[in-house]
Amino acid sequence: MSDQSIIFFDIDGTLLDFNKQIPASTKQAIADLRARGHEVAIATGRAPFMFEKIRKELDIDTYVSYNGQYVVLRGEVVYRNPLHADALVALTETAIQNDNPIVYMDADDMRANVPEEHEYITTSISTLQVDKFPTYDPAYYQQREMYQCLLFCLEGAEQQYEANFKDFDFIRWHPMSVDVLPAGGSKAHGIAKITEKLGFPAERQYAFGDGLNDVEMLKQIHHSVAMGNAEPEAKAVARYVTKPVDEDGILHGLRMVGLLD
C-alpha cells in the first residue's frame, strides 16, 4: 500500500473531451496507472446507467456516482444516501406550481414528471450524449429510493428552492438545469467511503475535476488537480491546474503530480 495510490476522475470535461470522447492519451495514461499498481476510480454527478460504456471502456468497477450518493467499490454497492422522501414530495409540488419540470433518478433509471418532451429537458440532457432519455412517470419517486433529481429552471431560479428546501443542495450543471442532492452530500463524502475501506492515507489520494460539483472533492483530496478548462471556482481550490482535457490534460496532470513520467 505504501507505493499504491488511488486516483478519482470526474467524467464530463475531465475524462471526456468536448465531443464526449476519451482522448487516446487519457486511455493510455489510465492503463499505465494500473500497470504501476494504482487504483483508478470515477467520481461523477452522472447516474450509474449514464456511464456504463465508459466504465467498460476503461475497465473501471469502482465509482462514486450521483455526486456521492451511490458508491460502488469493485462492483459492490458500499454506500447509499437517498433524497428525503417527504421533502421530495414538497419540492415536486412547488416545482409543478412554478412550471419547472423534474427528472427523478434512482440507481437503474430516470423518469420525468412531464409527459411531453420539454425544451429544458431535451436541451440539457442531450449535451451528455447518453443512450437513455427519461420517460414519463410522475409517481416514480414515490415507489423507490431516489439519489438525485434534475430540476429544470433557468439560472437564478434555484435561489427560491435553496431558501425553502434545506434538506437539499442545488448545484447547477447546465444553464437550464440543477442537480438536487441530499444536503451535505458531495463527491468528497462518497470518496471517503472508498478510501476508508481501502485504507488509503490522504497523501495517497488524487482527484481530477472541472465543474462546480467538483469543488468539495478538490478541496478535500490532498493531491487535487483542476483541468485547464475547469470553472474558476474549481481552479481556485485545487492544488494543481493542468492543461485542458483536449490538450492531453489528464496525462499532463498525472505527470505534474509525479504518478507518471
| Residues recognised as catalytic | 10
Indicate the SS3 state at residue 181: strand
Grid cell at residue 256: 505534474
DSSP letter for each residue of 25-62: HHHHHHHHHHHTT-EEEEE-SS-GGGSHHHHHHHT---
Residues 6+ apart with CB under 8 A from 160: 98
Contact 125, 131 (CB under 8 A): no
Cell 435561489 locates to: 159
Gap between the Cα atoms of 61 and 244, Å rounded: 26
CB atoms within 10 A of CB 94: 14
| Cα–Cα nearest to 103, from 171, 179, 214, 166 | 179
CB atoms within 10 A of CB 93: 10
Contact 242, 11 (CB under 8 A): no
The runs of H, that is alpha helices, within 48-133 are 52-58, 85-97, 119-126
